[in-house]
Structure formats: C-alpha cells, structure tokens
A and B are shown apart, each in its own frame.
Chain A
Amino acid sequence: MMKIQELTKQYDGKTVVDGVTFTIPKGKVISLIGPNGAGKSTVMGMISRLIAHDSGLVHFEGKDIGKWKSKELSKRLAILTQSNNIQMKLTVRELVTFGRFPYSGNRITSEDESIINQAIAYMELEEFQDRFIDELSGGQRQRALIAMVIAQDTEYVLLDEPTNNLDIYHATNMMKTVRRLCDELGKTVILVLHEINYAAFYSDYICAFKDGKIAKFGTVEEVITKENLSEIYQVDFEILTIAGKPLSIYY
C-alpha cells in the first residue's frame, strides 16, 4: 500500500503540488487525470523518488520512500516518465533486458530471458526486437520503453502518459495489458492519462487533479460525472453508459 500525505512541491516559489493526500489501494489500476500543468507528473515523480518533495510523506510498503534502498525499491516499483529522449543505439531487446538489471545485474538467467520474451510479447514487439530504438517510430519506441518497465516485474508500475504516440490499436492494446498486469499478475498500476474514456473504461479508481490539488478521488462512477468533468476541464461534457462504464463525450 502507498500512503501519500500532504505532499507539497514548489518550483521557484510557485506551489505546483499543494497538500496532496490520498491512498493508493494495492492490486488496482488508478488513473490520474487533469489539465496540463495540474501537477500529475510531479506527483508521479515524487511518489517514485525521482523528484524530491518539499514537505509531506510518501509511505511505501511500511517505510518512508526515502528510507528504501535504491536497489530494493527498483524491484518493487518501476516508473516510466513522460518524456524519454534516448539518444542511444540499443536494440529493443537490449533495452528491455535492462529491466532485469535490478535483479540479475550483468548475469541474465534463463528465467530473466523468459520474462523479457513475455514483456516483448505483451507489447507486440517481436518483429522489432533486434532493431535499434533510435530507428523506430515514436510509438514503437514508446512500446519498447513500456516493455522494459514490464520486464522490471515490480508490484507497482507507474506509467506517465503511456498512450502517448500510440495509435488507437496499440493504445487499446496497452490499456488491456495494464488490466492484465493488474488482474493476472496482481500488480498495482498507476497511470497518467489524458484520454478520459480509457481512464473510465480500464481503471478501478480515478484521481483528478487541478491546480496542484486533488479535485476528486474515487471509483470511476464517482468521479466520471458531467458536473465533475465540466468543472475540472472547463469544457461541456455528456456522459453515456456503455458496457456498464461511464464514457464521456466532450465538445
């Protein structure tokens, strides 16, 4: 379980994350939504120790996040950040193999190999696995990075805008993979999404941010309502119920 209390972050005297408190339930999919600059990525960074917080607490699996040994934490929690500008000529497979580094270091075992193969299969990258990542399209590269995080095989998986650059087929496939990671492998997945309908359809909980604060946190049905969304995004919304999920139309 991950408990976040009164988390605050300032940049140049401007408060960009302001007293954020919520608890991430284990074994669920949680989506963070909200307008640009609402502070979603900053929160993701702080709960994964990539960004130092100014005040507040991040309590992860019984310990403060800062008290974890870096190596141990990298076996429990993996994060893919929003922008990854990789200028290196690595093949997809070599990149995914780095996901096993916290476990095996330089010695990749046959068990690692099968986890790597599985991660590559999840992201449908078999035909690209020996291509250099700097010669792939943006979406293919994004999938390679997600595959690496999957290969890291952690209980907690944090993905900041994973559907970035992906076409509808691969974005949907990616969301289905997230569901499988949660339902079949029991992982906790925390996502930042801009596509509200993906968030509504595939997550268990939604946390909506606005101006560095949590505007709404709850189950999909609680958060995805006409009033909430109109207030958060300042856009007109209609909500339809399809397959038992509240899907939204905005214009």
Chain B
Amino acid sequence: MKPQQLLTGDLHLWEIFLVSRLPRLLAILCTGVGMSVAGLIMQQLCSNKFVSPTTGATISSAQFGILLALLFMPASTLWSRAIFAFITAILGTWIFVWFIQRIQFKDMVMVPLVGIMFGNVIGGVTNYLAYKYEMTQALSSWLVGHFSLVLKGRYEIVWLTIPLVILAFVFANHFNIVGLGKDFSKNLGVPYNLVLFAGLTIAAMITASVVVVVGSISYIGLIVPNVVAMYKGDKIKGTLVDTALFGAIFVLICDMIGRIVILPYELPIELIVGILGSLIFIALLFYRLKYGRKSIRLGSTGTNSCATMPNLKGGEQI
C-alpha cells in the first residue's frame, strides 16, 4: 500500500489504513514513548540506572495480572484484563522498590539482578498456572510482544500512555528531587514516600497499558533513558521529550527491521528489540565499568543516532 494510492479514494484501501495500519503506527509510537518514559521515571526515583520495567518486575507482574484475568474471567474484555494488569503491575513494582529500599545494596548492579530474579519468580508462577490450567496458548500472545494483532477497536488502551506521560512531565521536578534522596526531599518540602510511590504507579500503569495491547517489550525502558542521559544529563524536564522521541524512533526502526528480515512474514518486535537492546545494554555496562558516569560530550547539537554510535561500537569490540 502506498500513500498515493490512498489519494485515489479507494475505499477498501482506506479501510485497511484506518483499521490496521494507522492503529499499528499509533501503537508503535505509544509503546516507544511509554516504555522509555516509564524506564526514565523508575531510574530517577530509584536513582539507579539499571532499574526499568524489565529489570524491576513490572512487565512480569502485568503479565501475571493478565493471566489472573484469563483464569477468573474467561470472558473478560480488554478493559477488565487491563485493570488486572494495572493492579498487579503497580503492586509488583511497589514490592520490588520497597524491598530494594529496605536492603540498601552497596553495588548498583545488584538491584537489577534482584529485579530480574523477582521478575523470573513471578514469570515462573505465571507459567506454572498457565500450564496447569492449559492457558499457555492464550497467554503466549502477551509473553512475546508483537504488533501484528493491533487492530482498531482492540488497542485503544495504549493511548492511556499519553496522559500518563504528560502527568510525568508535570511532576518531573518532583521525581528529580526524590531521586536525590530522602533528606534532600524533606529539606525541600517534597513528600518523599508519596512522590516515590505515585511515580512508580505512573510508570507501572504506562507499562501495563502497553503490555495488555502488544505484550512484553523489554529493554526499551532500560537503554533509551540511559543513552539520552549520557548526552543530556539527568534533569527530567530537559530529557523527557528527548527520551520519548528517541524511544518512539527506536521502536519504529525495530518494527521495520522485523518486517523486512523474513519478508513476507514478520518477526515479533520483542525479538528485534531484545537482540538490539541486549547488545546495547552490554555495551552500556562495559562503558559504565570503563568510564564510570562520565558523559559523552558531543558537539553542540547531538542527534539521537550519534549518541548511540559509541555504544554500538563498544559492543562490537566485546
């Protein structure tokens, strides 16, 4: 389908466009924006660069919620599944953060490791229940994220990410201050626990609304905020728009790759994001180990693609 064909006024083409193509594009953009902003919020609030919806058990909790909805309400609508996913995602994230605040890990790499383990435990329970009640088939669509089932009428929940991202923008300075620590927040009159858990709630709701529509998409929330922070710093007001845009472009590119590689079939987005994301993630880890928190200094106007280049190169060396 080409854009000029639409202009000829072919109603059938218009229908395809409105029912499938446009929703898919919107879902991709909302996913990219939502997941990267959710990651940004979580990293700031926990002041740990390796926390994200994937490494903070948010995604697996949301999947657990979807399974519960499928189990208890076999005839559940998208909305009721979403509500289950919201509740479990929020609770899972809260428990994780409460736990890491309690333990106070010395090593910042421990935090995501604990998160991944916690996520795997929840994922294990989800899988166990799915096997036991023969739900694996039904659940698989939410385990591996893909856009091929995004159609008009069954993806609109993902739009929720937009008001939530705007809300995050309004409270950006609060999140920054909370990220600076408890004493720091108290001194500036910011209620630490309230902002912490409200922020986590926003991040969890964004994640859940993506997961119910497209399924699990890992790594975006981890790498996009990290890459943007390298050249823009950690002031959320200044990085949120960049993070959102970069996230959207990243998912869009991954989607295109996924559709080209084995034409005419398509690979699920989770696969592409997973491969690219884990490579960039490893590169980031090595970069951090080698240079600490030193920023990348680009010329006055660094573009997104430039910023990722040093990481990709680093990844190849390994």
B189 → chain A, closest Cβ, in Å? 3
Q: Is A79 an interface residue (CB 8 A)?
A: yes
A85 to B181, CA, bound (A): 9
Q: Which of A94-102, A213-221, A239-247 contacts B (4 or more CB under 8 A)?
A: A94-102
- Say whether A70 contacts B191, CB under 8 Å: yes
- Say whether A70 contacts B186, CB under 8 Å: yes
Q: Is A106 an interface residue (CB 8 A)?
A: yes
Q: Is A62 an interface residue (CB 8 A)?
A: no
A residues adjacent to B (C-beta < 8 A): 48-50, 69-75, 78-81, 84-91, 94, 98-99, 101-102, 105-106, 132, 134-135, 149, 152
- Say whether B47 contacts A81, CB under 8 Å: no
- Say whether B234 contacts A101, CB under 8 Å: no
Selected contact of A87 from candidates B47, B172, B176, CB within 8 Å: B47
Interface centre among B170, B183, B190, B191 (most CB of A within 10 A): B183
In the assembled complex, which residues on chain A have CB atoms less than 8 Å from the CB atom of B186? 49-50, 70
A235 to B66, CA, bound (A): 69
A204 → chain B, closest Cβ, in Å? 24
- Say whether B189 contacts A73, CB under 8 Å: yes
Shortest 10 CB-CB contacts between residues of A and residues of B = A74-B189, A71-B189, A89-B234, A89-B233, A70-B189, A88-B234, A102-B189, A94-B235, A101-B188, A81-B183
Per-residue interface assignment for chain B, residues 168 to 201, with 1 indicating a CB less than 8 Å from any chain A CB and 0 otherwise: 0010110011011101101111110000000000
- Say whether A91 contacts B233, CB under 8 Å: yes
A80 to B183, CA, bound (A): 9
- Say whether A88 contacts B187, CB under 8 Å: no
A183 → chain B, closest Cβ, in Å? 24
Q: Contacts A70-B191, A98-B176 given: A90-B293 contact, CB under 8 Å?
A: no
B residues adjacent to A (C-beta < 8 A): 47, 108, 170, 172-173, 176-177, 179-181, 183-184, 186-191, 229, 233-235, 237, 293-295
In the assembled complex, which residues on chain A have CB atoms less than 8 Å from the CB atom of B170? 106
- Say whether A101 contacts B173, CB under 8 Å: yes
Q: Contacts A48-B187, A50-B187, A70-B189 given: A106-B234 contact, CB under 8 Å?
A: no
- Say whether B188 contacts A102, CB under 8 Å: yes
In the assembled complex, which residues on chain A have CB atoms less than 8 Å from the CB atom of B294? 135
In the assembled complex, which residues on chain B have CB atoms less than 8 Å from the CB atom of A50? 183, 186-187
- Say whether B184 contacts A132, CB under 8 Å: no
In the assembled complex, which residues on chain A have CB atoms less than 8 Å from the CB atom of B229? 89
A75 to B188, CA, bound (A): 8
- Say whether B180 contacts A135, CB under 8 Å: no
B103 → chain A, closest Cβ, in Å? 17
- Say whether A90 contacts B235, CB under 8 Å: yes
- Say whether B233 contacts A98, CB under 8 Å: no
Having A81-B183, A88-B234, one finds 15 other A-B pairs with CB under 8 Å, namely A49-B186, A70-B189, A70-B191, A75-B189, A78-B187, A84-B184, A86-B180, A89-B234, A89-B293, A101-B177, A106-B170, A106-B237, A132-B233, A132-B295, A149-B187
Closest to B235 in A: A94
- Say whether B295 contacts A74, CB under 8 Å: no
A80 to B184, CA, bound (A): 8
A249 to B268, CA, bound (A): 75
In the assembled complex, which residues on chain A have CB atoms less than 8 Å from the CB atom of B190? 70, 101
